[in-house]
Structure 1
Amino acid sequence: MPTTTLRAATPADLDAITDIHTLARTAYYQAGGLLDPDLTSAGSRARRREAWARVLGSADGTVLCAVREGEVAGVVSMGPPADPDLDPTTAGQLYQIHVRPGSWGAGIGSRLHEGFVRLLRERSLSTGVLEAWERNTRARTFYARHGWRPDGHSRPGPCDAEYLRLRLELGA
């Protein structure tokens, strides 16, 4: 069985990260009923690429790549919480986690999640937060399996479905 290693993302990973994000995002939004052609448009991909370039060049966050058989198979980005009601001295936010759809179920997402939790602990943060689209049942099931629970906060999302905020409390 192939092993999955985690490493810090570099600018050389930009296209692989953008492709994985595009494929994963398209898969989960389409599965949830969003059939917007802009999901896969060249302009949409270019905007995602620009956003990832900014993230990779920022000191505020951390991006890790999951590498399997020499190829980037997944990505996780994390940093301070985006919502003002969360204390950045105790909480870190998992902004995005994406795995190439053909590799779903191979443990790559769990390795990325482990990397996020490890960084929370290294930074002495006791809480993780993230947002998941309520129609992305695959992601919500994954996070529940890893101990995440809804914390009661949400915001509007596409297709009259909410983005739910989930919370992970780390034990001592």
Structure 2
Amino acid sequence: MSDYEVRPAVLRDAKAIADVHIASASAAYADILPEDQLRALAPSTREAKWREAIEFSEPQVHVAVLGEEVVGFVGFDRSRDPKTPSTTGEIWALYVKPEHWGKGVGVALWDAARDGLEEEGCTLVTVWVPLRNDRALRFYELAGFKREMKTAKTTSLGGTKIEEIRLKRNVA
């Protein structure tokens, strides 16, 4: 039994979600993005983005809490990829504070997202992951996701080109 509880996010969680997002992204992308771009991750813009997501449920957002502290979050909804069937969901974001990595928080968040996607009628779920983010790739592959090799693409993140790949699996 885990000490972590996962629940739907509420508006007052937006700042904590933004803080988790920045702490986790800074650690996860330390070898992928230049230091100045990592420093430029602005809490205020992230908080506004997550406040809007929570308010409009796009994406749906759940948080993992330990006591009263938000230690991770997941955003999920229908796939944003063009020409994707309405039964395909997507993990838009899944971040956990680095000090809680490897403790089951990500799995608990994935389970909540999977349940939510299933309730929405999704049968497949996808996620886009930078190819150089070994930790995230390993996490999703352990969760049963498979790489779709023909989906590799280059995106720009703050002026830095990043190679991403889509992974997918059945929801159930």
CA drift at 1:160: 4.4
2: CA distance between counterparts of 1:140 and 1:38? 22
Give the structure with the larger strand fraction: 2
1:98, distance to aligned residue in structure 2 (A): 0.4
Mind listing any 5+ residue stretches in structure 2 that lack a counterpart?
Answer: none
Q: CA RMSD in A?
A: 1.8
Letter in 2 for 1:35: P
TM-score, normalisation: structure 1: 0.89
Secondary structure of the 1:26 match is: helix
Residue 69 of structure 1: aligned partner? 67
Residue 37 of structure 2 is matched in structure 1 by 38
Paired position in structure 1 for 2:3: 3
Residue of 139, 143, 150 corresponding to 2:136: 139
- The alignment-based identity, stated in percent, is 26
Name the counterpart of 2:121. 124
| Secondary structure, counterpart of 1:168 in structure 2 | strand
Quick one: distance in 2 between partners of 1:160 and 1:79?
A: 26
Q: CA, structure 1 residues 19+109, in 2 after alignment: closer, same or farther (shift >3 Å)?
A: same
Listed as ranges, the gaps of 5+ residues in structure 1 are none
- Once residues 70 and 46 of structure 1 are traced to their aligned partners in structure 2, the CA distance between those partners, rounded to angstroms, is 21
Whole-Å separation in 2 of the counterparts to 1:162 and 1:143: 17
Whether the 8 Å CA contact 2:59–2:92 is kept in 1: the answer is no
Assess if the C-alpha contact under 8 Å between 1:78 and 1:92 holds in 2: yes
**Where do 1:1-172 residues align within 5 Å?**
3-32=3-32, 34-41=33-40, 44-88=42-86, 90-151=87-148, 152-157=150-155, 160-171=161-172
Q: 1:2: how far off?
A: 5.4
Between the two proteins, the alignment pairs up a number of residues equal to 168
CA distance in 2, matches of 1:91, 1:125: 5
1:79 Cα offset (Å): 1.0
